[in-house]
A and B are shown apart, each in its own frame.
Chain A
Amino acid sequence: MSKKISQKAENKPANNQQPKIVEEIIESKLTTGEQLKMYAVRFRLAFQAIKNQSPNFIVILILNAIIQSAQIGLAVFIPKVFIDVLIQQLVWSSAFYLIWGIVLIEGILKLAQNTLRRKIEVEQVRVQHGIEREISAKVTRLPYHYLEDPEILNLKESAHFALLNQQVAVYIITNFQEILRYGLTIVLLLAILAQLSLLLVLFLLGTFVIIALLQNSLKTYETNFFLNIIGINRKYGYFIEKAIQPELQQAIRIYNLEPLLSTRVDQLNLEIIDFMQEYMIHSGKIQGIQAIITDLQGVVAYGYSAMRVLTNIVGSPIGIGSFSLYAGTTIQFSIAMRKIFDAYREVKQCLDYLEPYQKFMQLPEIGQESEQTPAISSTKNLKSNRIDRSAKRKPIHEIIFDRVTFTYPNSKEPVLKDISFTIRQGEKISIVGLNGAGKTTLVKLLCRFFEPDSGRILINGEDIQTLDESSYLREVSAVFQDFRLVPFSIQSNIASLPDQMINQDQQFISKIETIVSETSVNEFTQNLKNGIKTKLNKSIHKQGTELSGGQSQKVAIARALYKEGSLVILDEPTSALDPLAEAEIYEHFDTLVRGQTALYISHRMSSSKFCDKVLVLEQGEIAGFAPHEELIKDKNSLYTRLFNEQAKYYEL
């Protein structure tokens, strides 16, 4: 796999940036015992992951290995059987039966192998995708703050990269099978050889050690090699991706960037090949030496077996049939030995690559208690989930920030410094400030996505951290500036429910209809062939559609309103809307939020006018918290400056 892995990694044309892997996986400082233990843990993890995805797969693999080693066993016996027949001058008819018997066994083995292969081909892919889905499911179960932690992102990318681009799962399966196959074969062949001579067995085991040493030196070299090539790989992947990235195509033409990108890629091509060449020369030498050792083993076995035929000095004489058998067995033995070493080295390497996956899957999750059986989900429990939720709704009627300070993970400078304010039920608050003042951070804290460094956020008098996460989030309807829609139908996005559930219930349908017209989503959906049942994302759904930025934003607003949370958060919800559509949202703001408590973040200063109060943030601190009319009185304040800056363009 060494070759395959390295090259695969390099050259996928549309590769994503390639994360660091090897940097994290050098555990050379561990003792052998610890290393073995680590590999055992990882092997169990891989084994378990495979078993979870396809319970019978391991059995199939074992069966396959047994059949394959039986085939090798049969192959070494065939010459002996027939040479014995010839020497004993058997009658033709019994020889004839023998031939049929052998061929029949061979045929059955091959047929069984084909049958198993058919299964393996499918199960392998099932496991591969299944593990990818496990990672996906895991991401959805992580506490949100992990998702903004660059280290976690890197970890996830590494885990994903290993499984997706380097197909570690598939390689583990393949090599696991090889180890089984050749392991069984070696046992079988050793049993045969032990009949002949223990001395020969000892000799073979001795060469085993030499090969092990060679392989080990290769392994050490390989690890260093991958460490060095990873940076080049990442660059290569980056520039290759840029060349076909849609966002860049116009600039590539207008500014003639093709030579720049091509030159970079061509330079990297040469660098990669130089690296690979060096590696291949090294591994070529080692493999060449191994090939020579294999020949040596063959020669020794032939020589020794010949001696056994020709003289009784080295042991009891054997026949020519046995001579063929033992010589053939030795050759198969050395092949098996080489293969098992290769497979072992590759499994070990795969297990190294599995480290990020292991770490990632071990991250703690939200609400561990109800999430014990992930991934396998059904609409049924989704439904019961929903019903449960609506049963224990606890509307938010008061929000208090009490001296809240917050710093992002991996950052030194606090984003919010000692913030205190109170918001009561039904108030509409506009939050304004320069880019980077902490506006979005504030609402993220309110969504319980992060925990403050110090201070408390009280919801209805209770500390937000002590609330049940899911029932609290049930009360929050939010549109973030980087909101995302999912590739389901428009109605499904709005109701956050699968189509089949919506279609079964008139209540859902009529509620969606109301919202759709309130948010004027219907203005564009009525032109679509399937209306609000049209699915999003053309590359997934052939009949689907792509919405413009403004249209998506409307759907996102509709989704938040459908949820009917008692706290509405709108973070730059109109940035992609044109002036008219924006004005429409402003006009209907009161109706849209239906008297719920609302937080509104916008760079359009005009939005402050229809809110009850404005919270001005300046470098993480509150620079004002009052209605617009009051704030504007202070001519020198940040707020007045910001407002006038925009107002000057609208003087009539």
Chain B
Amino acid sequence: MKTNKNHNQIIKAKTTYWQMAKAMWQKLKLRDSGLIPFCFVYTVFATVYPLLGVFLPRMLIVQIEQARSLVWTGGQMTSTQTKIFINIGLILLIYFIAAAILGGLSTYISNLSYARLSYLRLDFISDCNHKVMTMDYYHYEDADFMDHAIRAMHATQSNNNGVEKVYRQVFMLPAKLIAAAALLVFLGLLDLRLIILPLLSLTAIYYALNRTDAFIFKQRQEISHATRRLYNYSEITNDFTYGKDIRLFNLKTMIIDAFNKMIGDRIRQLKLSSGKRFRYNLFPLFFQIASTIVTLSFLVSKALAGQLAIATFAFYLSSYVSLNLIFEEIATALNDISNEGRYVKEMLDFINADLNQQSGFEQVKISDQIKIEFKDVSFHYPNSDQLVLENLNLTLHNREKLALVGINGAGKSTLVKLMTGLHHPTSGSVLINGQDTKNLDPKSLFKLFGVVFQEEKPIAVTVAEQVAGSITEIEPNRVEQVLARAGLLSKIEIEPNGIETNLLKVLDKDGLMLSGGETQKLMIARALYKDPQVMILDEPTSALDALAETEVYQDFSRALKNKTGLFISHRLASTSFCDRIVLLSGGSISEVGTHQELMQGQGEYYEMFVIQGKYYQEEEK
């Protein structure tokens, strides 16, 4: 059975760097291909700019050296002196103009590209969310899988890691590479041996960075676990609803002690990786020292031997210094690309994984009649062996209203998930007009059902959007109609914006707050708006007072009128409007019948009824 599949098998680590590059390139082309010429222009400007700084001293010193013996002390200048002054002036002027244009513009361009690169990341976030919202539902109840999924989204977390960092580094890399190549050519033309050690230290820097980050990547599971544990303790106190219990039971010290311990754990982890970084960094340090000694010795000895003029010496020296700086940047960039790429690859593994394996492709055959059959259905949740439903057989006939009762954990909600195709049976089958739900396209199956969930809260959109479940396709008349049927229109109508009123106060301080009972009505209206063939109502367990509770029952029975329906009840007494009552216990049906039949049977249902009604019934006697 697929349900038991390990999440590691579902999301396979299969994206290669090449595929990552392709995916990122496609995203770029799709969303903002204008960035490509941007990158080109940036590269040209940002390559030349640092090289100007290397050439300037050389040119100036060449001029100055010529004039060293003829310091001008005022009075008439010799023609050579004039020439030198003019030359220096010209050099500085040209340098300034070139530098101002190149430096100013490359800074400006990199700023311009900033937000646009961020947008690509936001788009990946949307991809991840899309995946979460469209994957087979059962994945969502697999904690290990979700752990994995959330980790996959790490690559979109900020502008300084993951996918955005890779984009940024790639954007700037060509400029660095070309500048470095130019410097390598200068030094290499002088003596090929001069570039060996810098290249080695480049490798060493990359190696040190990469090893440390590989270590952190390997630890990522423990790191995210440690961080999560830590934040859990912080959340306890920061969630003010814990306040009463913390004060009443004096839990303060216990929590803060635990928090401290978690910080300690995290610090120990961190010490490991920072120790690694320190040790790995000894390599590049060694190579850099060696390289500097060799280069300086070479240049100085050559200059002392008269083979290098001072200006040329200064030029090579500053070339060497610049090369080291650029190499450090290149090593960092390459490492960022490969290291952050690891996280990006994880994200792409997730986005590209087939998470709809369980779904079929058949469309539901439309018919005015509907019949839903459970045949020998057994079910257990992913990563659990405990059967929630066992060999269950049940038929819901057309236009029948069925009540589902039973104690907590009897499997009532599970049965709904199986009926709507959110889950599929471990064995046995659920048939909709004879079609096995396993073979059905979930989207087509979902269309059949309107579910009022136990305690769903509205989201901060307008009333109309909430009821229609859409932004684009809203029929205002129907929205009002269903609100009226659910008994909520009078409350909405008096709002100045009517059905365009925003719900909740999170995003709109003038938003509409609904009470528990009103929220139920809103959800009923949404189900009605959908006008489904099958209505499923899950009774709220939240503390509604007796009057509000009765009103919810009435709303439910009205909503079920002329429909096929399933009503889950937590209080036996509310099922009177149903045709049949099914008592679930221990994962299978223990009693079926009308209220009268079940009471007469004096079985489990009767017993529960009596116990629950005990204090009320005494009154009657």
Q: 1/0 per residue B580-621: CB within 8 Å of A?
A: 000000000000000000010000000011111111111110
Residues of A within 8 A of B65 (CB): 320
When distances are taken between beta carbons in the complex, the residues of chain A under 8 Å from B453 are 250-251
Asked if residues B156 and A11 are in contact (CB atoms below 8 Å), the reply is: yes
**Nearest-neighbor residue (CB-CB) of A234 within chain B:** B507
**B96 CB–A CB distance under 8 Å:** yes
- Counting CB contacts under 8 A, is A377 at the interface? yes
A486, B114: Cβ atoms closer than 8 Å? no
| A107 adjacent to chain B (CB < 8 Å) | yes
In A381-401, which residues have CB < 8 Å from any B CB?
Answer: 381-382, 385
From B621, which residue of chain A is reached at the shortest CB distance?
Answer: A652
B interface secondary structure, majority? helix
Cβ of B105 within 8 Å of any chain A Cβ, yes or no, is yes
The answer to whether A265 and B616 touch across the interface, beta carbons within 8 angstroms, is no
Contact among B68, B125, B254, B456 for A498, CB-based, below 8 A: B254
B55 at the interface (CB under 8 A from A): no
Cβ-defined contact, B446 with A254, below 8 A? yes
* CB atoms of A125 and B270 under 8 A apart: yes
| Cβ contact within 8 Å between A11 and B125 | yes
Given A13-B157, A487-B236, is A273 in contact with B140 using a C-beta cutoff of 8 Å?
A: no
Cβ A295 vs Cβ B99 within 8 A: yes
Q: How far is the CB of B140 from chain A (nearest CB, A)?
A: 5
Could you tell me the distance between the alpha carbons of A38 and B265 in the complex, rounded to whole angstroms?
37
A468 within 8 A of B: no
* Structural contact, A133 and B238, CB atoms closer than 8 A: no
Partner of A238, one of B233, B449, B507: B507
Assuming A121-B270, A496-B249, A576-B541, is B132 touching A244 (CB within 8 A)? Answer: yes
With A238-B460, A313-B72 as contacts: A652 and B243 at CB distance below 8 Å: no
> Contact at B240–A118, with CB atoms within 8 Å?
no
- Name which residue of chain B comes closest to A310, CB basis: B67
- Whether B112 lies near A284 (C-beta < 8 A) is yes
Complex Cα distance A256/B420, Å? 13
**Chain B proximity of A373: nearest CB distance (Å):** 12
CB-nearest residue of chain A to B258: A488
- Checking A246, A550, A609 against B615 with a beta-carbon cut-off of 8 angstroms, the contacting residue is A609
Chain A: minimal CB distance from B298 (Å): 10
With contact pairs A11-B159, A140-B256 given, residues A86 and B304 touching in the complex (Cβ less than 8 Å)? yes
**Residue B369 lies at the interface, judged by CB distance under 8 Å to chain A:** no
Q: Measured between C-beta atoms, what is the minimum distance from A404 to chain B in Å?
A: 19
Among the stretches B9-17, B336-344, B490-498, B569-577, the one at the interface with A is: B569-577
Interface of A: prevailing SS = helix
Q: Is A47 an interface residue (CB 8 A)?
A: no
Contact call B263/A130, Cβ cutoff below 8 A:
yes
Contact between A83 and B515 (Cβ–Cβ < 8 Å)?
no
Cβ of A645 < 8 Å from any Cβ of B?
yes
Asked if A650 contacts B248 (CB within 8 A), the reply is no
Is A4 within 8 A of B160, CB to CB? yes
- B190-198, B224-232, B390-398 - interface stretch: B224-232
Whether a CB of chain A sits under 8 angstroms from the CB of B118 is yes
Q: Is the CB of B129 within 8 A of A244?
A: yes
Question: Complex formed: what's the CA distance from A652 to B621 in Å?
Answer: 10
Which residues of B lie under 8 Å from residue A650 when comparing CB positions? 573, 609, 612-613, 616-617
Measured in the bound complex, the distance between the Cα atoms of B295 and A106 in whole Å is 15
Q: Would you call B130 and A481 a contact (CB within 8 A)?
A: no
Chain B contacts of A250 at CB under 8 A?
Answer: 137, 417, 422, 451, 453
The reply on A224 being an interface residue by CB < 8 A is no
Identify A306's interface contact among B64, B137, B457, CB under 8 A: B64
Contact of B253 (CB < 8 Å), options: A107, A324, A382, A548: A382
Contact between B119 and A273, CB atoms less than 8 A apart: yes
| Chain A residues, Cβ within 8 Å of B79 | none
Which residues of A are found within 8 Å of B515, using beta-carbon distances?
435-436
Alpha-carbon distance between A122 and B269 when the two chains are bound, in angstroms: 9
Is B217 interfacial (CB 8 A cutoff)?
A: no
Indicate if the CB atoms of B303 and A86 lie closer than 8 Å: yes
- Indicate if the CB atoms of A609 and B459 lie closer than 8 Å: no
* Contact yes or no, B456 A247, CB < 8 A: yes
Q: Contacting A125 at CB < 8 Å: which of B240, B254, B266?
A: B266
Task: Tell whether, in the assembled complex, residue A111 and residue B158 are in contact, meaning their CB atoms are under 8 Å apart.
Answer: no
- Which of B60, B246, B442, B546 sits near A253, CB closer than 8 Å? B442
> Among A133, A298, A433, A539, which residue has the most Cβ atoms of chain B within 10 A?
A133
Which bracket fits the contact residues of B?
35 or more
Chain B residue, CB-CB nearest to A448: B247
Q: Is residue A586 contacting chain B, with contact meaning CB distance below 8 A?
A: yes
Question: Do residues B545 and A121 form an inter-chain contact, with CB atoms below 8 A?
Answer: no
Contact A272 B122 (CB under 8 A): yes
With A140-B237, A148-B240, A284-B108 known to touch, is A302 a contact of B74 (CB < 8 Å)?
no
Bound CA–CA A487/B67 (angstroms): 80
Contacts of B30 in A (CB 8 A): none
Which residues of chain A have C-beta atoms less than 8 A from B105's C-beta?
288
Contact (Cβ within 8 A) A294 B103: yes
B313 at the interface (CB under 8 A from A): yes
Smallest Cβ-Cβ distance to B530: which chain A residue: A255
A323-B64 in contact (CB<8A): yes
Partner of A645, one of B85, B301, B546: B546
Q: Which residues of chain A come closer than 8 Å to B157, judged between CB atoms?
A: 11-13
Which chain B residues border A130 with CB–CB below 8 Å? 263
A260 to B465, Cβ gap below 8 A? yes
Among listed A28-36, A93-101, A172-180, A186-194, interface-contacting one = A93-101
Residue of B nearest to A586 (CB): B615
**Are A540's CB and B232's CB within 8 A?**
yes
A292 touches B251 (CB 8 A): no
- A632-652, CB < 8 A from B: 632, 641-643, 645-647, 649-652
B270 contacts which chain A residues (CB < 8 A)?
121-122, 125
Q: Which residues of B contact A251 (CB under 8 A)?
A: 451, 453, 456
Tell me the nearest residue of chain B to A499, going by C-beta. Answer: B254
Cβ–Cβ contact A100 & B293, under 8 A: yes
Q: Give the segment of B274-282, B371-379, B425-433, B478-486 that binds chain A.
A: B274-282
Contact between A260 and B256, CB atoms less than 8 A apart: no
Cβ–Cβ contact B297 & A144, under 8 A? no
Tell me whether B95 is interfacial, beta carbon within 8 Å: yes
Query: Are A147 and B267 touching (Cβ within 8 A)?
Result: no
Q: Are A283 and B243 in contact (CB under 8 A)?
A: no
Residue A90, interface by CB 8 Å: yes
User: Is A106 within 8 A of B289, CB to CB?
Assistant: yes
Check if B28 is an interface residue, CB within 8 A of chain A. no
Which residue, of B64, B122, B613, has the highest number of chain A Cβ atoms within 10 A? B122
Interface residues in A13-67 by Cβ distance below 8 A to B read: 13-14, 17
Asked if B248 contacts A580 (CB within 8 A), the reply is no
Could you list 21 examples of A-B contacts with CB < 8 Å?
A13-B128, A90-B304, A92-B300, A129-B263, A130-B263, A133-B256, A254-B422, A255-B469, A258-B130, A269-B119, A273-B118, A292-B99, A299-B92, A302-B56, A309-B64, A311-B71, A377-B257, A435-B544, A482-B241, A485-B245, A486-B236
Closest 6 CB pairs of A and B: A649-B573, A650-B613, A284-B111, A606-B615, A276-B115, A136-B237
